[in-house]
Amino acid sequence: MLRTFQSHTVRDVQSLDGKWDFVVSDARRPPGRFDRKAPVPGCWETSVPGLVRFRGVAWYRRTFTLKKAANVLLRFGGVSHTADVFVDGKRVAHHYDAFTPWSAPIQKLSKGKHTLAVRVDNTFGDHSALHIENDYYTYGGITRPVELHLVPDVSIDRIHTTTERVGRGKWKLAVKVHLLRSSRDRGKRTVRVEIAGRAVDVATSRDTAALMLEGLAVRPWEIGKPKLYDLHVTLLDGEQPADDLVERIGFRTVQVDGRRLLVNGKPVKLVGFNRHEDHPDFGCAIPLAQMKRDLDIMQDLGANFVRTCHYPNDQRFLDLCDERGIAVWEESHARTVDLDHPKFEAQIAASTDEMLRSHVNHPSILIWGCLNECHAVKRSWVAKHARVLRQMKRFDPSRPVTYASNDWERDRGFRHADIVSWNRYDNWYGGRHSEGNVERELKRMLKWLHTTNSGGADKPVIMSEFGAGAIPGWSSAIGERWSEEYQSVALEECLRIYLNHRDVVGAAIWQFCDVRVTEAWWPHRPRCMNNKGVVDQYRRPKPSYAVVRKLMRGC
């Protein structure tokens, strides 16, 4: 399923996960012959023999049966990276980008058996501005869960909640319910919202319904001390429940206050990791058990924070962060992409919009990010940063927005962000970064930021990336680069300084685990992997694990 909890009790929902027919083919329409089976969710690189390095097009197919004619919603958690969906040979949807959920609606589908076929393309080229040759792998497949929803002519599309503290232990909850009208039915419906023993009804004949619940005596959601509440929204047609949606929310606020970051009015220090969705046995189709294991390890290390570099994550991972009280910086999909690519504007706007719409209710998401190392230096690219930051802020004014930069004093975008975030690799990459100058570099950058017209003066700072590579198992007496000893020394120096600097509100190690990279990056990456993990690709600890654990748990 798409979530770790049951998100419907009225609506008829069934999982379409399982073994689908599979064939490698770049046909534009569903092929007649399928020669293998493949698991959904799954990546073909890890689940179909012989395709470990296949970059191309393949098809998935399965059937489903309707007991009676119905409006159908096919919900995909993620398809990597471009999907064309056919039902009974007719194309019903096209979608680009692997990392956001989307739906294919089909009205009045007849009773009986139907054939669902999905064309999946993970190629690079002019058609793709966000999925490019990169320092992480773009897998191929239906990589996240798929569900079949049966919906009435007027149904619930999504919910947007905002919580606000109005006094000691008292909270206000604003709920905006967005309806989907699959016909010209403008009939009145009643929207019922139930939470924490309270219920409110509102009638509407429009596409949205806004409700406010005041004076809720609830416990707050805190980092490390989470409290979740089921929000049950029911759509009534007369007295008859016609549809519903359950969201799980947390009552908390997150604000920027000068150089500090506040959760529920209290300053916080975010300490943790950058985590790619990657595993040698699953690709990016990480099963729930592995997501849980990854968070177990991060919490053992003392982390309270994870950055979903560089794309929106599987919603089940965010559910686990909600449940554990782990703070999340989630970002829309972009790592050092070409902002002048002809498809960039449309693709980043769509990816960002889908992230915001589907993930806005997660209390664990404290920060929205975007455009990792996309160089807000030349005027036109600063404007493109401003546009995405504004898109996020307009959709959700309740959270701070940021982007991770490696342009230092040349960066002209900080005035458009609420938080300044730096990816620094002092003591790893060449140039000015050399051993022993982490503190000097941080002091220099903070002085520039807070005492010049940087656009970031008196804003909170997050060290969004720092780290060093270590080839697992390579121990060196002289501790040179790529050795496990080197990584331990490098991380120890960064953490000791960043965890203790009062103007640094967050520090995220690059990175949690070693990950696969795409073909063009192989020359720069031993083992064809990014080796800066504190654990290797199988989550086996490197020697730096003990160093990180001591410092993170001690902060």
Enumerate binding residues for ligand ADA (CB under 6 A): 135, 309, 335, 372-373, 406, 423, 465, 510, 530, 532
CB of residue 404 vs ligand ADA: minimum separation in angstroms? 6
CB of residue 277 vs ligand ADA: minimum separation in angstroms? 13
What does the block give as tokens for 185? 């039915």
Residue in the block written with tokens 């189709």: 285
The C-alpha atoms of residue 298 and residue 549 are separated, in whole angstroms, by 9
Cα 34 to its chain centre, rounded Å, is 33
Whichever of 252 and 279 has its CB closer to ligand ADA, that residue is 279
Angle, helix 315-324 to helix 344-359, in steps of 10 degrees:
40
Whichever of 96 and 510 has its CB closer to ligand ADA, that residue is 510
Whichever of 253 and 530 has its CB closer to ligand ADA, that residue is 530
CB of residue 366 vs ligand ADA: minimum separation in angstroms? 20
Whichever of 131 and 335 has its CB closer to ligand ADA, that residue is 335
CB of residue 429 vs ligand ADA: minimum separation in angstroms? 7
Whichever of 146 and 509 has its CB closer to ligand ADA, that residue is 509
Whichever of 81 and 335 has its CB closer to ligand ADA, that residue is 335
The C-alpha atoms of residue 143 and residue 129 are separated, in whole angstroms, by 20
Whichever of 226 and 533 has its CB closer to ligand ADA, that residue is 533
CB of residue 456 vs ligand ADA: minimum separation in angstroms? 18
Nearest to 442 by CA among 418, 466, 410, 458: 466
The C-alpha atoms of residue 199 and residue 551 are separated, in whole angstroms, by 46
Nearby residues of 264 by Cβ (< 8 Å), 6 or more positions away: 165, 220, 222, 252, 253
What does the block give as tokens for 411? 């960066």
Residue in the block written with tokens 């908390």: 252
The answer to whether the Cα torsion of 404, 407, 413, 417 is positive or negative is: positive
CB of residue 519 vs ligand ADA: minimum separation in angstroms? 15
CB of residue 279 vs ligand ADA: minimum separation in angstroms? 17
What SS3 string covers 419-462?
CEEEECCCCCCCCCCCCCCHHHHHHHHHHHHHHCCCCCCCCCEE
Q: What angle do CA 279, 281, 282 make, to 5 degrees?
A: 65
The C-alpha atoms of residue 551 and residue 238 are separated, in whole angstroms, by 59
Whichever of 495 and 517 has its CB closer to ligand ADA, that residue is 517
CB of residue 306 vs ligand ADA: minimum separation in angstroms? 15
Whichever of 143 and 372 has its CB closer to ligand ADA, that residue is 372
CB of residue 140 vs ligand ADA: minimum separation in angstroms? 20
What does the block give as tokens for 130? 């966000």
User: How many other C-beta atoms are found inside a 10 Å radius of the C-beta of residue 497?
Assistant: 20
Whichever of 136 and 221 has its CB closer to ligand ADA, that residue is 136
CB of residue 22 vs ligand ADA: minimum separation in angstroms? 31
Peptide bond into 511 cis (omega under 30): yes
Nearby residues of 509 by Cβ (< 8 Å), 6 or more positions away: 272, 273, 274, 465, 466, 467, 491, 494, 495, 534, 548
